[in-house]
Copies of this chain bind each other. A is one copy, B any other.
Amino acid sequence: MKHKTAVYRREHFNAAHRLFNPALSADENAALFGKCSYPNYHGHNYEVVLKVVGEINPVTGFVVDTKHLSDLMKEHVLEKFDHRNLNLDTNEFKTLIPTAENIAMVIHQLISPHLAPNLDLTVILYETERNYVEYPA
């Protein structure tokens, strides 16, 4: 029996963001998000790991070339998000709060259409060394 194998590729981008739900009052936003909702934004060094599961191709010894994963990230994610303000500069977070959970989900939506259908994608996003998320789980 052939087992599946996972390949991981780590990339990073630096961005500003703010957690704020316009449907809620200022007090409700402050209660929910604390200093993460300060009006003038703060930022992070985001680390993104793509995890891709599939079978090893006997010709290449690869499940998928990590260079290809890196290229997909550059074209579909870093070009949009790196050195940007996620709330102001991106379409994806015009109406979606840029929490780590939502950023991981959006990166999944941006990358998965470009992977071969026999490959499964998971996105792991580090907002800080101590706070990170994985989508889907």
User: Which of A's residues lie within 8 Å of B, judged by CB?
Assistant: 3-12, 14-17, 19, 21, 23-24, 32-36, 38, 40-45, 53, 56, 59-63, 65-67, 82-85, 88-89, 96-102, 104-105, 128-137
State A42–B136 Cα separation when bound (angstroms). Answer: 27
- Do B40 and A101 touch (CB < 8 A)? no
Shortest Cβ distance from A25 into chain B, in angstroms? 13
State A132–B60 Cα separation when bound (angstroms). Answer: 16
Shortest Cβ distance from A102 into chain B, in angstroms? 5
State A99–B66 Cα separation when bound (angstroms). Answer: 11
State A24–B129 Cα separation when bound (angstroms). Answer: 37
- Do B84 and A3 touch (CB < 8 A)? no
| Residues in chain B near residue A19, CB distance under 8 A | 61
**Complex A-B, nearest 3 residue pairs according to Cβ-Cβ distance, in ascending order:** A43-B43, A3-B136, A6-B137
| Residues in chain B near residue A14, CB distance under 8 A | 42-44, 128
Q: Contacts A19-B61, A130-B10 given; indicate if A42 touches B137 (C-beta within 8 A).
A: no
| Residues in chain B near residue A43, CB distance under 8 A | 14-17, 41-44
- Do A16 and B45 touch (CB < 8 A)? no
Q: Contacts A35-B83, A130-B9, A136-B3 given; indicate if A96 touches B45 (C-beta within 8 A).
A: no
- Do B6 and A83 touch (CB < 8 A)? no
What are 20 A-B contacts with C-beta separation under 8 Å? A5-B105, A5-B133, A5-B135, A6-B133, A7-B101, A7-B133, A9-B131, A10-B130, A15-B43, A21-B59, A21-B60, A21-B61, A34-B67, A38-B83, A43-B43, A45-B129, A53-B137, A61-B97, A62-B99, A63-B101
